Amino acid sequence: MAVNYPNGKIYRPVQQAGKTESSKSSYGNRGMTLEEDLNATNEYYLHQGLAVIHKKPTPVQIVNVDYPKRSAAVIKEAYFKQSSTTDYNGVYKGKYIDFEAKETRNSTSFPLQNFHQHQIDHMQNVCRQDGICFVIISAFQQIYLLQAQHLFVFWERMADGGRKSIKKEELEDAAHSIQLGYQARIDYLKILDKLYF
């Protein structure tokens, strides 16, 4: 029997040799990326009238385009116009939402090198304006929502010469685990409701 996601995308389970049925369902083996799942979740939220959250486009300056014919233009050279801030933003229950999505395959810690100073600065600015800012992290076969305020503590520790990563145990203590769902694959609004509403 074929199963479709709410946006019409067909679910195709990933078959891996030597994997048991229970390990097939773990996040790392599912065959969709964190970004794809978040985009599908945000589409679901939008269609249900729950929230308006979109992935931010990365600003690009096109320098050279090859026009063999108008319908087949090919970009030959382009540059990022500026450093990007975070991946997603929008509004939920009248509050500004801004978040970054990150993944790691590291089995013991989450490397802080996944972030850049300009992203931390942006998140701090959002928090100063009373926006809701967080990171959704895929690590250790799980999905977590880490509030920006907690991320800042780990970032400051690194800046002061401390660890350059968040230990698995620290992330599990500071973050909120998100169980994978069917329609809203990564239903982070449930966590926001508990934290802010």
pLDDT given for residue 24 in this prediction: 35
In a domain, residue 102? The reply is yes
In a domain, residue 168? The reply is yes
Contact 171, 146 (CB under 8 A): yes
- How many whole angstroms separate alpha carbon 57 and alpha carbon 88? 9
Residue 116 belongs to a domain with what CATH number?
Answer: 3.40.1350.10
pLDDT given for residue 23 in this prediction: 36
CA atoms within 13 A on the CB side of 169: 0
Place of tokens 């996601």: 5
pLDDT given for residue 32 in this prediction: 59
Tokens of 137: 């992290």
pLDDT given for residue 80 in this prediction: 62
Helix axes of 148-159 and 117-128: crossing angle, nearest 10 degrees? 140
Is 85 marked as binding a ligand? yes
pLDDT given for residue 96 in this prediction: 98
In a domain, residue 125? The reply is yes
Q: How many domains, the chain? A: 1
Is 147 marked as binding a ligand? no
pLDDT given for residue 2 in this prediction: 47
Read off φ and ψ for residue 36, nearest 5 degrees. -60, -40
pLDDT given for residue 13 in this prediction: 43
Q: Which of 121, 109, 124 lies closest to 170 in space, CA to CA?
A: 109
| Residue ranges of the chain whose pLDDT lies below 70 | 1-32, 59, 80-83
CB contact set of 190 (below 8 Å; sequence gap of 6+): 178
pLDDT given for residue 106 in this prediction: 92
In a domain, residue 49? The reply is yes
In a domain, residue 116? The reply is yes
Is 86 marked as binding a ligand? no
In a domain, residue 108? The reply is yes
In a domain, residue 66? The reply is no
pLDDT given for residue 63 in this prediction: 78
* Region of residue 183 (left: phi > 0; alpha: psi -120 to 50; beta: else): alpha
Return the bridge partners of 103, or none.
138
Domain that holds residue 32: 21-56+83-196
In a domain, residue 5? The reply is no
Is 179 marked as binding a ligand? no
